[in-house]
């Protein structure tokens, strides 16, 4: 029988040593080990929990360890993080099990010398009340970094950009698993019929007040196993991305360019708005990503899509389009709760990204037809990648102007911004962190 803690350990090791994506590594391991419901849930909670709390866990290790953190062997460090997370953040795991299983895991990894070290630290934590103390709040950046387990550079960025109230709300939103949303494939079914089928498969569905064809899902298990998914009745897409397409407002017979399309979710939603008519040019730089887009389109029954291998910043010419979606590569700070391993990246806020994004925006805008709409978007919360790029574009392209966004009920602005842009935040819109701006040619 597979050991859930061993499975979690190997997933975390793969993420740390090979840069694996948490969701892909986790799904692969659960399938390969054929873990049942309880074991699967435990492994998921442990893996995501350790990734989410890594900065806090390492801070605690440093309080107890005489060996500097940088000198602790990576496998030992991962086992320590796992043990601490079970002790401090998993209420249903007995302390004795957290300690003993961590020691046993070290021995199975032939870390005999580390086993005593791990045992000593974990037992010291169980005997200390409180087990750790947070830094002094006078240093807000360091305090919030340790409390919410995020790099100090991100705390500083959000405090400076959005104010302390928004920053702390954003930091709070990073803990726990975010809501899962589906977009109803209106080419094959409708909302009520999909709800009935998913309910029959044991999935809990709730409608949203923001968009009529968005459903909140829970109790899905592995999405790919669902008959409704295999039949192409829906695709997974956060409310923020669905709103982005709604602001673009694709219509039947439109020509639409999706400049950085992979994995294709926004193009799929656009095709449904377009009733599978018109043309969608789904572009990406890599063959394997284009293959992914084509596979998703086939499953959903989308036939008005053409995939194009193309560099968004300097690619082959495209036809004039009624609608252009410029969803550029970004730092992903709005989806840290879905990809917690991003927190450990050394270049969490790359300085060169805004320049690339601006180049993609400028190169794409030349293909917008008169009367058309271009939507620029990112899944990040960083003004340099968002509003500053759009403001620069409008200043340097006086033939373009902003196109006001009509916000749906339930979506409010967290910050002061123009009427043609919107910064979505979890605590004001119930979505991932996201930015969208609508632009058009002046008449």
Residue in 244, 260, 283, 379 annotated catalytic: 379
C-alpha distances in angstroms, 425 versus 167, 214, 403, 417, 435?
10, 18, 21, 14, 9
The residue assigned the tokens 């002094």 is 136
Q: Which two tokens mark 217?
A: 């899902």
379 flagged as catalytic: yes
CB atoms within 10 A of CB 31: 13
Q: Which of 326, 396, 307, 327 is nearest to 367 (CA)?
A: 326
DSSP letter string, 306-347: EEEE--TTT------EEEEEEE-----GGGTTT-GGGGG-TT
- The span from the CA of 279 to the CA of 257, in Å, is 8
Q: How would you label 171-197 residue by residue, b for 16+ Cβ within 10 Å and e otherwise?
A: bebbeeebbbbbbbbbbbbebeebbeb
Instruction: Sort 230 into a burial class: Cβ within 10 Å, 0-12 / 13-18 / 19+.
Output: exposed
Pairing between β-strand 255-258 and β-strand 321-327 as defined by DSSP bridges: parallel
Number of H helices and number of E strands within the chain? 17, 12
Q: Which residue has the tokens 């004039």?
A: 320
Contact yes or no for 266/258 (Cβ under 8 A): yes
User: What is the set of active-site residues?
Assistant: 379
């Amino acid at each position: 029988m597979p050991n859930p803690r061993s499975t979690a350990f190997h997933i975390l090791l793969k993420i740390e040593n090979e840069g694996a994506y948490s969701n892909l590594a986790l799904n692969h391991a659960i399938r390969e080990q054929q873990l049942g419901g309880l074991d699967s849930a435990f492994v998921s909670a442990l893996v995501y929990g350790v990734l989410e709390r890594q900065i806090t866990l390492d801070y605690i290790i440093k309080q107890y360890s005489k060996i500097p953190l940088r000198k602790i062997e990576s496998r030992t460090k991962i086992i320590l993080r796992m043990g601490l997370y079970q002790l401090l953040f998993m209420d249903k795991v007995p302390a004795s099990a957290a300690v003993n299983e961590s020691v046993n895991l070290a021995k199975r990894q032939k870390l005999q010398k580390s086993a005593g070290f791990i045992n000593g630290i974990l037992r010291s934590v169980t005997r200390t009340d409180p087990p750790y103390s947070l830094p002094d709040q006078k240093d807000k950046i360091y305090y919030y970094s340790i409390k919410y387990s995020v790099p100090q550079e991100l705390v500083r960025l959000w405090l400076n950009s959005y104010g302390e109230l928004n920053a702390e709300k954003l930091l709070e939103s990073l803990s726990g698993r975010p809501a899962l949303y589906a977009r109803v494939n209106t080419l094959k079914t409708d909302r009520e019929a999909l709800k009935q089928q998913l309910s029959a498969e044991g999935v809990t569905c709730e409608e949203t007040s923001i968009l009529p064809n968005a459903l909140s899902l829970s109790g899905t298990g592995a999405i790919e196993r669902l008959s409704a998914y295999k039949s192409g009745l829906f695709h997974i897409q956060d409310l923020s991305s669905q709103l982005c397409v709604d602001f673009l407002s694709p219509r039947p017979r439109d020509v639409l360019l999706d400049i950085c399309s992979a994995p294709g979710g926004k193009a799929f939603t656009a095709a449904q708005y377009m009733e599978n008519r018109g043309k969608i040019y789904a572009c990406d730089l890599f063959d394997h990503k284009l293959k992914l887009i084509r596979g998703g389109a086939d499953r959903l029954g989308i036939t008005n899509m053409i995939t194009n291998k193309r560099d968004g910043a300097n690619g082959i010419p495209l036809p004039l389009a009624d609608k252009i979606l410029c969803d550029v590569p970004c730092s992903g700070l709005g989806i840290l709760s879905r990809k917690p391993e991003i927190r450990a990246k050394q270049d969490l806020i790359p300085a060169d990204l805004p320049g690339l994004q601006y180049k993609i925006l400028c190169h794409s805008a030349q293909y917008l037809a008169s009367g058309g709409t271009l939507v620029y978007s990112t899944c990040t919360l960083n003004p340099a990648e968002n509003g500053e790029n759009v403001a620069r574009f409008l200043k340097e392209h006086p033939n373009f102007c902003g196109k006001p966004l009509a916000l749906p009920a339930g979506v409010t602005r967290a910050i002061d911004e123009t009427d043609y842009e919107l910064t979505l935040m979890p605590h004001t819109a119930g979505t991932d962190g996201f930015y969208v701006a609508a632009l058009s040619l002046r008449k």
